[in-house]
Amino acid sequence: MHIGAAFEHEFVDVSATGDHHPFSLQAFRQAEPAGSRLVTVLQNAGLEPENWLPEYGRHQYEITVAPTDAVTAADRAILVRDTVYDVFRAFGREASFAPVITPGGTGNGVHTHIGLRDAEGNNLAWDPSRPGRLSELAGSFAAGIVRHGPALAALFAPLVTSYLRLAPHNWSTARCFLGLQNREALLRICPTNEMDGRDPAPQLHFEFRGGDIGANPWILLGLLLRAGMQGLREGLPTPEIVVGELDLDGAHAGLPQLPRNLEEALETLKADEVVTSWFSPAFLATFEAIKRDEYATVRTRSLAEQCAMYTEVY
Ligand code: GLU
Ligand code: MG
């Protein structure tokens, strides 16, 4: 099986002032000339930018690059971040990828796109006869990620303010489930573009929506692939596919929760013997010690201060 992967980054121009109109041409133009320069630099660097757009949040933007093999995708994630910082700074602006810039504000996600192909390039995830048009193999892969999702949170959402973002009604992950036409899923079957007779078969792939800038992209992608492979190894059945809006007071009340804060996330990671077996004890002990220290230090501040701290760092 061959993996195609890409990281999609959201960030905020924190130096921008004035009105913001989500997704507008005005917001697009407000980023000029940094926006056009960013795309040019990414193109010249061979990072294959695909889409550059104003997002919903206040002075928030999104940049996507073309999929590639897994390791290169993670390399590209780091290069994209540094290019964004550098280009915005060159124009006297400041960009931040922090999960939440101000309490209650829209979050910045780092979404991971994952496609599954065979050696000839055929899409292993595609099966139009099944729910979500998702093959049995891809269903098992998704099941591994969904089953271990809560334990992975400490690594995909490793900052104290990561958990301000991972909440319902936030267009970001509300619960741990596989979704279709649903932006609150941890793992989403991406919508396909079938305009003018475009073929959906090669397009169908997953988007993992839980991650943020605190996650190491190599480790994050490695974890998602390990969890997916675990699902394949055990032949897990396709998880429930939640289609459309989430009804947390009704039909979807029983969907598994993600940890509510970093401390809970560290406990949940420790309790999952499968996920912990993928790491050396020394790695886990070091990670936990650092993160517990970070949690203890940061949580004593007000939410606004917590957000400001991470906005400065990221
Ligand atoms: N900003 C959302 C997040 O925190 C994602 C919005 C979108 O679907 O593009 O993940
Ligand atoms: Mg987005």
Overall domain count for the chain = 2
211 and 92 in one domain? no
167 and 33 in one domain? no
- Domain annotation covers residue 75: yes
129 and 51 in one domain? no
Ligand 1 probe mutation, 171, 184, 190, most atoms within 8 A of CB: 171
Task: Give the per-residue pLDDT at 253.
Answer: 92
Confirm if 62 and 177 have CB atoms less than 8 A apart: no
131 and 88 in one domain? no
- Domain annotation covers residue 217: yes
- Domain annotation covers residue 86: yes
135 and 78 in one domain? no
Query: pTM of the prediction?
Result: 0.96
- Ligand 2: distance of its center to the CA of 191 in Å? 14
153 and 39 in one domain? no
Strand, coil or helix: what is 8?
strand
- Residue 42: which domain range? 1-97
169 and 286 in one domain? yes
Q: Residue 18 pLDDT more than 90?
A: no
Q: Residue of the nearest CA to atom 7 in ligand 1?
A: 171
144 and 217 in one domain? yes
Angstrom CA distances, 309 to 274, 297, 298, stand at 34, 11, 9
Nearest atom of ligand 1 to the alpha carbon of 111: 10
284 and 210 in one domain? yes
- Ligand 1: distance of its center to the CA of 286 in Å? 30
- CA torsion 81→222→271→283, rounded to 10°? -80
pLDDT in tens, 48-106: 999 999 999 999 999 999 999 999 999 999 999 999 999 999 999 999 999 999 999 99
Cβ burial of 92 (10 Å; 0-12, 13-18, 19+) is exposed
- Ligand 2: distance of its center to the CA of 62 in Å? 6
Residues with CB under 6 A from ligand 1: 10, 106-109, 165, 171-172, 183, 209
Confirm if 93 and 9 have CB atoms less than 8 A apart: no
Return the amino acid letter for 18.
G
Provide the CATH number for the domain around residue 81.
3.30.590.10
pLDDT in tens, 133-174: 999 999 999 999 999 999 999 999 999 999 999 988 888 888
234 and 187 in one domain? yes
Q: Which whole number is the average pLDDT over 190-211?
A: 96
CA atoms of 213 and 152, how far apart (whole Å): 15
List the Cα angle 68/74/79 in 5-degree steps.
Answer: 100
- Domain annotation covers residue 230: yes
